[in-house]
Amino acid sequence: MSTPIDISEQAGVRYLHFGSEWIQGAMRLRNPNALELTYTREMMAGLLLKPDHWPRNALLIGLGAASLTRFLYHHCPQTRLHVVEIEPRVVAAARQFFHLPEDDRRLKITIADGARHIFEPGPRYDCILVDGYDRNARAGALDTEPFYLAVRSRLSEHGLMAVNLFGRSRGYKASLERILRAFDDRALAFPSCDSGNVIALASSGDPLSLSLAEIRERAQALKTRTGLDLLPTVTRLEQAGSLPGGRLLL
């Protein structure tokens, strides 16, 4: 029996559900290219750590309501996007209800198992975003050490992975440990969002070392350029002690 795909709306926001109360994505109808949910904003934190022309290309595993895809397509015109989504009905719903653009020279949608896809030969990416779940908020094969090792092998010298650890409140630390082993300790978990989501960043390319002042300056510039406000995220990282000596090291 296939999982129902449900659409709901409340207070000007449209939501995607996979046959449960879990919110799998959201879009504010008056501002469809903005990132409505906090965790989706934090998955874009790599934009604070890299030059303005980054990323040149991005792989997104899991489409959901296409929030990350829309944001990157609209605000990062230099980026070529490849989305791998296992469920064709999610793609159809995203196109019908969530303004997902049609495939073109910058956007390619592939219907496939993201965990299997990452092990296949293919290009390297500056950015790999992992946000794939079933109706019970389980990530399955997307949360294994071999998968994270494969992701690392598909990252460029400028590469970053961002992964949504939602649904792993009991095991999120175990998930982070798998990421740390796969990336030789070059990973960072953000403090949990109000929704319970935990975003982890991991780097395989050039070492990153930025001061708190540099990050705040970049966050302000990003907010001015795209409307994406990551200043609260920077403050949460600082308060959680994630920036030892006032620097982000990754």
Least confident of 81-85, 94-98, 138-142: 138-142
In a domain, 55, yes or no: yes
The reported pLDDT for the residue numbered 98 is: 98
For 169, half-sphere exposure in the C-beta direction (CA atoms, 13 angstrom radius) is 8
Could you tell me if residue 126 is inside a domain? yes
> What is the token pair recorded at 230?
């990551």
Please indicate, yes or no, if residue 244 is contained in any of the structural domains: no
Q: Name the pLDDT band for 41 (thresholds 50, 70, 90).
A: very high
The contacts found for 169-178 with CB under 8 angstroms, 24 or more apart, are: 169/196, 172/198, 175/143, 175/200, 176/200, 178/143, 178/144, 178/145, 178/148
Query: Has residue 107 been placed in a domain?
Result: yes
Closest Cα to residue 60, out of 84, 93, 38? 84
Catalytic residues: 131
**Which CATH number covers residue 166?**
3.40.50.150
In one-letter notation, the amino acid at residue 160 is L
Q: Quick check: is 139 in a domain?
A: yes
Domain count, the chain: 1
Where helices occur in the chain by DSSP H, the ranges are: 38-42, 67-75, 88-97, 114-117, 145-153, 172-182, 212-226, 231-239
Q: Are 48 and 215 in contact (CB under 8 A)?
A: yes
2 occurs within a structural domain: no
Query: CA 231, CA 227: separation in Å to the nearest integer?
Result: 11
Q: Is the peptide bond before 55 cis (omega within 30 degrees of 0)?
A: yes
Q: What is the mean pLDDT of residues 9-16?
A: 97
Within a domain: residue 111? yes
Domain that residue 122 falls in? 34-208
pLDDT digit string, tens, across residues 128-169: 999 986 544 555 789 999 999 999 999 999 999 999 986 555
- pTM reported for the whole predicted model: 0.95
- Tell me, yes or no, whether 250 lies in a domain: no
